Amino acid sequence: MGFPAEAIPARVAENLIVECGTPPRTAWRLASELSLDVAADRYNALTGDPRAGMRGTRIWEYEQWPDRGVRPTVAALRVLATVYGTCWKSLLGLRDLEQLPAKDLAEYHAEAEPEVPRPKARAPVRVEERVDEEIGTGVLDDAILLTKTNVDDTQLDDLWSDLDFLGGVYTRTAPESILGQLAVVEERVSAMLKGRQRPKQTQDLLLAGAKCSAMMAWIAGDLGRYRLSRELNSAAWLYTQYADDFLARRWVRTSQARVAFWAGNGVESAKLAADGLTYHVGGRLTDAPLVLAEARGWSSVQAERQVLDAIAHWTSIEDPDLGAGGEDRFFNITKDRRHYMAGTSLLAVGQATSALREFTTAREAYEKLSPENRWEAMDPMIRIDTGRAYLRLDDLEGAAAHVEPLLEADVAKQPDMVRATLKLLAAELSGPRWRPAPAARHLAEALQDASAPGRP
């Protein structure tokens, strides 16, 4: 009909709108002969990042508005207009204008009709010439994008150094302080992941995110904030799914099992620990924490056979020389904590004598540790459960000798599990077996007072 090539999309869009009742944004996309996904790709390319967030589904939602879908911003309309070779005002009909916020409507009326940005017209060429010209166009530029990164080795080294340091000082630093510092590390990881990295750098960031989130979940659990713990562990597991790394999965399963147990989900804890053991990683993160977590989980439901099997497994692999240190020290618990976990599991299934032996070993191991490697909460926990073991053996004096030092300690500021275990001991002292004994009642009352919030 004699129209120049560059004018055809506008005439097609006009007729789609007038003759077919097609909404303006859909009409201009169809007139430009673009699918939703291709339009989204061109949108992202114009914004400077081919991996930006525009998707074909979002453009479809823009086209459904105002009946349904999502209202496009003026900024989005400007980019779409450039993609379609028109001005942003032509992408709005009267029904759209009726629903626009006052600010956007004022901008619509204030702006003069701009010169329509149109792609440069190309002289007609034969099909075979077009193929020769366009094959490979932009491939080199796209490949060069892979060399551009917002991350360098120094930044990654700093992240891992911070995680190792915070994992090492946790035993002697207030949990709330460590949690706050880890949150800053996680924010750095998240910010870097939003940029562009080489594949190996992305993998390192995902691993750092997994470890940081799992550590935060562990510590939030120590503070009794179990909902936050579960959210953090879910985030950590998502990181591991993308990182596809067995060691990372072990970190997260170790944290998940611990949090689940102290939140009162013992069977879930045991199953999470058992799953963690299926990820074989050599010697970096030993089997002991997960095996003992499995035993402790089953002990919550007095599953004696499963507990004894797990303890036997742990005994066969226990390395008495394995101490604190190493980059995974946060998850590789020290000897005193390993024997304490074994003791609590045995005590829960009625093996009081065996449990007492484990608590004695735990006490000896704790006292041999240097002060910087001691976890402060271990002292009251060993004392409390040693006292419980003596009660099971009908030795009230032995129990009192171990727990009376807690009467002078500031137990109220200890992690949540210390207070929970102390309440359990007080309940046992107040139970039918020891209720007639005045000494037991007095000790129970004193322990309850010692753990009360706001104690001076």
What 3-state DSSP class applies to 257? helix
Which DSSP letter does residue 119 get?
Answer: P
pLDDT digits (tens, 9 = 90+) for 365-401: 999 988 888 888 889 899 999 999 999 999 999 989 9
Pairwise CA distance, residues 277 & 289, whole Å: 10
Residue type for position 135: I
pLDDT band (50, 70, 90) for residue 440: confident
Instruction: Considering only residues 78 and 147, tell me which one the structure prediction assigns the higher pLDDT.
Output: 78
Pairwise CA distance, residues 88 & 107, whole Å: 11
Give the per-residue pLDDT at 330.
Answer: 86
What 3-state DSSP class applies to 205? helix
pLDDT digits (tens, 9 = 90+) for 245-284: 999 999 999 999 999 998 999 999 999 999 999 998 876 6
Residues ≥6 apart with Cβ < 8 Å to 370: none
pLDDT band (50, 70, 90) for residue 122: very low
User: Could you tell me which of 349, 284, 280 has the C-alpha nearest to residue 310?
Assistant: 349
Pairwise CA distance, residues 341 & 236, whole Å: 24
Pairwise CA distance, residues 59 & 25, whole Å: 9
User: Could you tell me which of 371, 386, 373 has the C-alpha nearest to residue 322?
Assistant: 373
Pairwise CA distance, residues 361 & 363, whole Å: 5
User: Could you tell me which of 416, 342, 414 has the C-alpha nearest to residue 385?
Assistant: 342
pLDDT digits (tens, 9 = 90+) for 359-369: 999 999 999 98
- Residue-level length of the chain: 456
267 exposed, middle or buried (CB, 10 Å; 0-12, 13-18, 19+)? Answer: middle
Average pLDDT for residues 169-190, to the nearest whole number?
90
**Residue 275 φ/ψ, nearest 5 degrees:** -65, -40
Pairwise CA distance, residues 376 & 363, whole Å: 12
Single pTM value for the model = 0.65
Residues ≥6 apart with Cβ < 8 Å to 127: none
Average pLDDT for residues 176-192, to the nearest whole number?
93
**Region at 126 (left for phi over 0; alpha for psi -120 to 50; beta for the rest):** beta
What 3-state DSSP class applies to 2? coil
* Tokens representing residue 75 in the block: 């900024």
217 exposed, middle or buried (CB, 10 Å; 0-12, 13-18, 19+)? Answer: buried
Asked if residues 251 and 209 have their Cβ atoms less than 8 Å apart, the reply is no
Give the range among 33-42, 187-196, 322-331 with minimum mean pLDDT: 322-331
Helix axes 288-299, 335-348, angle to 10 degrees: 20
Instruction: Considering only residues 184 and 409, tell me which one the structure prediction assigns the higher pLDDT.
Output: 184
CA 222 to chain centre: 17
Residues ≥6 apart with Cβ < 8 Å to 53: 44
pLDDT band (50, 70, 90) for residue 117: very low
Give the per-residue pLDDT at 451.
Answer: 64
* Tokens representing residue 443 in the block: 């000790």
Average pLDDT for residues 423-432, to the nearest whole number?
87
pLDDT digits (tens, 9 = 90+) for 206-246: 999 999 999 999 999 988 899 999 999 999 999 999 998 99
What integer best gives the mean pLDDT of the chain?
85
- DSSP codes joined into one string, 38-96: HHHHHHHHHTT-TTSS--HHHHHHHHHTTTSS-PPPHHHHHHHHHHHTS-GGGG--HHH
User: Could you tell me which of 432, 412, 431 has the C-alpha nearest to residue 422?
Assistant: 412
CA 425 to chain centre: 34
* Tokens representing residue 27 in the block: 């009409």
pLDDT digits (tens, 9 = 90+) for 227-236: 999 999 999 9
Residues ≥6 apart with Cβ < 8 Å to 326: 284, 332
Give the per-residue pLDDT at 142.
Answer: 62
